[in-house]
Chains A and B, each alone.
Chain A
Amino acid sequence: MGHDEYQKHDAKILTPSFIVLLTLTLIGFSLIAVRFIKGIGAVTNMSDGYPWGIWITYDVATGTAIACGGYAMAILIYIRNRMHYHPMIRSAILTSMFGYGLAGFSVMVDVGRPWNSYNFFIPSKWQANSAMFEVALCVMAYTTVLLLEFLPAVLTTLEKTEWKTLQLLLDKLYARMGMERPERIGERLDKVKEVAAWLKPRLDKVLIFIIVLGITLPTMHQSSLGSLLLIASTKLHPLWHTGFLPLLFLINCMFIGYSIAILESVISCYAFKRPFETKELSGMARIIPWLTVIWLSVVIGDLAWRGQLGAALSFDFYSRFFLLEFGLVAGGSLLLFSGRKRESIRWLFLSAALIVLGGALYRFNVYLIGFNPGKGWHYFPSLAELMITVGIVAFEILGYQVLVKILPVLPKLHTRQQLDEAAGQAVAEKA
């Protein structure tokens, strides 16, 4: 599994979309500053009836599912043994890393007393009954794991770099100050290279254990994200309140994960003008309908069992959102059952988009739309609240855009051929 399966995307960093994203990011982050100065009430429409708004619902509950591409790919590659998807994993991990990192960041914006978070590390304060305790620890651990999984990309670059830009910058800086550049700096930079070179093979050796941890942790916390709402038996509509919440959330994040991996690949190939990875994508798309069929059957079976099928078809406010969620997931999956449609990028994109939308709507239904704390409470996010979420998402895309241009993340073009050559060599050597 060589690291030369990946390559940098050679392109300018300062593009128009970069400027747009940067602006959105800056707006979002200044609103975050307002939130810390004036209190959460100053920027949001959250209330004591709806204490969790769009930040928890989108950034955390839905955002981490959308960031499950890395999780889904890792299962596919390492557990289901489809190694030929390996070139695609690095970009999936990068998006997961941003998704999770920023979900954690959103939580810190959302909670009222973030400075007390150290209590998560004090055993006497642990509260194993709380699903949130489990989610918090797992998400922190998983973000670390993602960083480690991504580290090889950084190390490879460090190892090879000549520090050209930095050297130039330093030269200019010292010239401006009218000084000679001290030798030491060059030595230090070399030292960093050495460390990177030393670390990489060692990391490679244990990487598989970290990767498997990266499969275990999301399995735990994605199901716990469903468990979070188990307690709200009087507030969450019976269409969604069920003992199967953990299981439904787990399967949900898997099919969202594969679908989002397809979307990401299509979008980035389109945006970066690379050939589409049709063969890999259609292979991956074959798994999705099986997951959704299980999910949909659990949903229906559970509703029937609890005698809620009538409520599901009553066409009231809740039933409509339920049917929409159900229809999106079912519709997208139906398309994927057709082998011919799986071969077409257009259809792949459409069905993956439908499934992601449906899966995300399910999470919105559970966290917000189906949540009713009682008479007199209403919630719709305020503009500032939305802009903070938009800012965070913009930062996510921005980070991805920049990092794929400075680190080897995207699959190397013609990797297939190279692998063949490499294998051929290996055989030749053995012979």
Chain B
Amino acid sequence: MKKPSRRDFLKIMGASGAALMAGRVGAEASELHQVNNDTLGMLYDATKCVGCKACMSACKRVNSDYGSLAFEQAKFDSDGLWDAPQDLSGSTRTLIKLFKESDKQWSYVKYSCMHCQKPSCVSVCPVSAMTRDKVTGTVDYNKDTCIGCRYCQIACAFNIPKFQWDKAIPQIVKCDLCKNTNLAKKGITACAEVCPVGAIMFGKRKDLLEEANRRLRESPGKYINHIYGEKEVGGTNHLYLSAMQFNKLGLPVLAEAAPAEFSEKIQHTIYKGFIAPVALYGTLCFVALKNMKGHGKHQENENKEDSDHGA
């Protein structure tokens, strides 16, 4: 999709006479975001994963999440021990899924927050409940400020933030890279810690990228030659290697530009420095006052006209 450039956008706004135009002066595009490879992330290698779901249960353990949603619980399991969620949910931050094309073609995949370098969820949250840590790059959520508007869910291209639809006091649930739990205590994420086959590697983005590139180099036939997350939506800190096409694993094909850059650019064009709204208000006040003043005379004339017509 070709995106309108800011200049074109402004041109047409101007042509159509939108008063918002007054903000052209001083409107600048948002600063281009820079990828920071010293931030923390994980590399998930789908070819190593054995689908044991140890990461899922470890994640629930450290986050004290309750079992799966009511409709996902098996009938025979009245005490809710057998937990088999079908998707990420208000009680599930990470999930292992199996995608089977044929007996030879299948792959596991792990879902959890991608910890985007330019996260859409942070860009849209109206009250800064979603934040990205400048140093670690971790995207975290604060339920004490969240108003529950679910704009983050609309915005996230990976459908990661989940809402607790079944609760009277709901919140958003998503992976926080164990920032408040395992990472704080043990220096590693719980899912990476428990993985028995080393399918989840935890570390700095640059090390993860290096390792991923090494694997691609050393076993070229084994993988699709692409590190998912390296460039997608401006880069993510959760990276993937796989033998199957990523979109078959439910990881969408995405452009390299971050959607948040596009939307912020337009929002900033209109609202930079609040000049446009103030100018608009000023102009309108001027016009309205003039009209009100002129009205006395105006009315007389009009009445004359009317009576002329009447005559």
Contacts and interface: CB of A to CB of B under 8 A. Distances in A.
A133 B126 contact: yes
A247 B18 contact: yes
A46 B165 contact: yes
Nearest to A112: B148
Contacts of A224: 267
A231 B260 contact: yes
A111 B148 contact: yes
Interface string B272-297: 00000100110011011101101100
Interface string A416-431: 1001100110110000
B128 interface: yes
Given A46-B165, A51-B163, A111 B149 contact: yes
B168 to A, nearest CB: 5
B284 to A, nearest CB: 5
Interface residues of B, number: 81
A250 B292 CA distance: 26
Contacts of B266: 227, 230, 243, 246
A142 to B, nearest CB: 13
Interface string B72-91: 00000000000000011100
Contact of B150 (A42, A51, A233): A51
Interface in B69-115: 87-89
A66 to B, nearest CB: 21
Contacts of B153: 48, 51
B263 A131 contact: yes
A423 B144 contact: no
A41 B30 CA distance: 38
A114 B148 contact: yes
Interface stretch (A119-127, A268-276, A327-335): A119-127
Interface stretch (B43-51, B194-202, B302-310): B302-310
A426 to B, nearest CB: 8
A130 B289 contact: no
Interface residues of A, number: 87
Contacts, number: 232
Contacts of B267: 128-129, 131, 134, 224, 227, 230
B294 A81 contact: yes
Contact of B157 (A110, A234, A251): A234
A21 to B, nearest CB: 29
B185 interface: no
Contacts of B87: 48
Contacts of B154: 51-52, 228-229, 231-232, 235
A186 interface: no
Interface string B159-183: 1011111111111000000000000
A229 B168 CA distance: 27
A129 B264 contact: yes
Contacts of A36: 168
Contacts of B300: 423, 426-427
Contacts of A243: 3-4, 9, 262, 266
Interface string A238-269: 10011110110011000000000000000000
Contact of B285 (A212, A230, A416, A427): A212
Interface string A362-381: 00000000000111000000
Interface string A337-368: 00000000000000000000000000000000
Interface centre among B166, B268, B270 (most CB of A within 10 A): B270
**Which of A39, A127, A129, A241 counts the most chain B CB atoms within 10 A?**
A129
Nearest to A209: B285
Contacts of B285: 208-209, 212
A110 B306 CA distance: 52
B254 to A, nearest CB: 6
A24 interface: no
Contacts of A3: none
Contact of B254 (A46, A127, A223, A234): A234
B145 A219 contact: no
B128 to A, nearest CB: 5
B284 A234 contact: no
Interface in B215-269: 250, 252, 254-255, 259-260, 262-264, 266-268
B159 A373 contact: yes
A374 B157 CA distance: 9
A215 interface: yes
A1 B293 CA distance: 11
A78 B292 contact: yes
B83 to A, nearest CB: 18
Interface in A24-61: 36-42, 44, 46-49, 51-52
Given A130-B125, A298-B12, 12 more contacts: A36-B168, A39-B165, A78-B287, A119-B129, A127-B127, A230-B263, A230-B267, A231-B120, A231-B259, A235-B154, A374-B159, A427-B300
Pairs A-B, 3 closest by C-beta atoms? A112-B148, A41-B165, A51-B150
12 contacts: A48-B87, A83-B298, A112-B171, A114-B148, A125-B128, A127-B125, A128-B267, A130-B151, A212-B288, A224-B267, A306-B2, A426-B300
